[in-house]
Structure 1
Amino acid sequence: MIPLVKGQYLVRLALDAADLARAQSLRHRSFLVRRGIVGAEGRDADAFDALCQHVLVEDIASGKLVCCYRLMSFSAGQSLAESYAAQVYGLAALESFAGAKLELGRFCLDPDWNDPDILRLAWGAMAQIVDAQRVSLLFGCSSFEGTDWRLHAKALAMLRGHLAPAPWRPLEKAKETVHFDSCLKDFAFDLREALQSLPPLLRTYLAMAGWVSDHAVIDRQLDTLHVFTAVEIAKIPAARARALRAVAG
């Protein structure tokens, strides 16, 4: 169980307000500063932070925070109305999905660190949490930089082949959306280029047999396009599941 040590990194849960402030500062640098956007007090913070567990990945030698994300837990049958994703997607149908659910949010890496071991360890720790809580569905919003969907047309068109099963498909709720069928139905794309243009988090979801909403949400405040993304734990390919658990073991 967390804390988890692998190589030069430590994964642990945030323990206090100081830890949360460090996560909010990293999120601010990762999501906003590197794109020339400056948020209030140098932090990316919202009301959902108080409702979540925060997972931190630190470089042991320096103590530097190199990755973080937050998790909100929902028991079987519990309403998802309080989730972050439910603010912009209609998720009532998903509430009948059997088993506990876990919302992943604000996943970010330090822009100055490019070690792939960080991402592997972050997901390995998440696999540990999923197993401990007997989670059946992991969900959240994956983000594309910028609000112009045309810049991400290849990736979004490819996502039409990974849509949520009809019974679980999120409904439109936000004021500004980009519906894949209406905008991208006949759009031609190269699969390799499309995969390379996906955000790393979304690419990982799809590698685990994840699925997405049939539309993206435009977020002017964060200057992003959000795509609802989920993975049914029972449907993760066996080899991928073993690899994740090996990291956490």
Structure 2
Amino acid sequence: MLNLRRGRYQARQAETEAEIAAVLALRSLCFRGGKLSDEDAYDATCRHVLVEETRSGRLVSTFRLLPLKAGAEIGRSYSAQYYELSALHAFDGPMVEMGRFCVHPDLTDPDILRVAWGAMTRYVDETGVEMLFGCSSFTGTETAEYVDAFALLKERHLAPKRWLPRVKAPNVFRFAGLLRRKPDLKRAMSGMPPLLRTYLLMGGWVSDHAVVDRDLGTLHVFTGLEIRAIPPARKRLLRGVASG
């Protein structure tokens, strides 16, 4: 069972109805302003992870995991609603979709994200996962403020052709085909969501288009990370956290 304690925070799997309710309440706050439920059909088949303050037990972050035996099952994923993922059917190792990642909007402590990734690292090592994937979201649906971030994704971080997701959603921003500018690195990184930034530091890649999600009020890109492609130094850092 996933369980990690590090510094001020601990990560563990939700087990009770009350814990799942707390997960949904935090997600509602983060994704829907606390006004609507964020529960969906995928919650029943996912494992839900809590990141809590060790002393108070306060829930500060959460995410969910959907394990898949191989790419042949990727049609079961949340991401498959929005991206045509038939290229990934050929992936022959265990996969896990990481979804609905959020941190309480009042908190900015980088250790929260660090502990969340430490928990993910432990899960990956214990279960033999070979690819981690999901949707990485930008706040809002206007593309103009993220032009440099998307230009950087085009220049350095597009998916390998053999895994490249195709367009499926009706409303997308085809940044790889539309953008011709060189990215301003400072503006690009300041506009990059923290979760996506971490994926990229580990060697992750993205789709060549972003989905405009009016329901959640976000832009998101499909994000994949082949575990064997993570640089050795980054693996050591992650496993250092995971061993806590």
If the TM-score is normalised by the length of the shorter chain, which range does it land in?
over 0.9
- 1:113 offset after TM fit, Å? 1.9
| Aligned pair partner of 1:178 in 173, 177, 183 | 173
Please give the TM-score of this superposition, normalised by the length of structure 2.
Answer: 0.95
Q: Aligned partners of 1:177 and 1:139: how far apart in 2?
A: 19
Equivalent residue, structure 2, for 1:60: 54
Per-residue deviation, residues 75-123 of structure 1 (Å, max 9, x unmatched): 0353211100000001111121131001000111111222211111110
**Structure 2 residue 31 is matched with structure 1 residue 27:** no
Aligned residues of 1:79 and 1:92 also touching (Cα < 8 A): no
Matches within 5 A, 1:100-139: 100-139=94-133
Matches within 5 A, 1:69-108: 69-108=63-102
Q: Aligned partners of 1:211 and 1:242: how far apart in 2?
A: 20
**Structure 2 residue 13 is matched with structure 1 residue 13:** yes
Q: CA RMSD in A?
A: 1.2
Between 150-159 and 166-175, report the one with greater CA deviation: 150-159
- 1:172 offset after TM fit, Å? 0.4
* AA partner of residue 228 (structure 2): A
- 1:241 offset after TM fit, Å? 0.6
- 1:2 offset after TM fit, Å? 2.4
Equivalent residue, structure 2, for 1:142: 136
When residues 28 and 77 of structure 1 are mapped into structure 2, their CA distance, relative to the original with a 3 A threshold, is closer
Q: Aligned partners of 2:177 and 2:89: how far apart in 1?
A: 27
Q: Aligned partners of 1:235 and 1:60: how far apart in 2?
A: 33
Please give the TM-score of this superposition, normalised by the length of structure 1.
Answer: 0.94
User: Percent identity of the aligned residues?
Assistant: 51
| Aligned pair partner of 1:39 in 35, 39, 64 | 35
Q: Aligned partners of 2:79 and 2:35: how far apart in 1?
A: 21
* AA partner of residue 39 (structure 1): K
Between 84-93 and 2-11, report the one with greater CA deviation: 2-11
Per-residue deviation, residues 196-227 of structure 1 (Å, max 9, x unmatched): 21000000000001000000001001010010
Q: Aligned partners of 1:181 and 1:200: how far apart in 2?
A: 21
Q: Secondary structure at the match of 2:119?
A: helix
Matches within 5 A, 1:164-175: 164-175=159-170
* AA partner of residue 35 (structure 2): G
Aligned residues of 2:173 and 2:212 also touching (Cα < 8 A): yes
**Structure 2 residue 201 is matched with structure 1 residue 223:** no
Per-residue deviation, residues 137-175 of structure 1 (Å, max 9, x unmatched): 000000011111122111111110210000100010000
- 1:9 offset after TM fit, Å? 1.5
When residues 160 and 57 of structure 1 are mapped into structure 2, their CA distance, relative to the original with a 3 A threshold, is same
Q: Aligned partners of 1:150 and 1:211: how far apart in 2?
A: 22
Q: Aligned partners of 1:77 and 1:231: how far apart in 2?
A: 13
Q: Aligned partners of 1:183 and 1:30: how far apart in 2?
A: 31
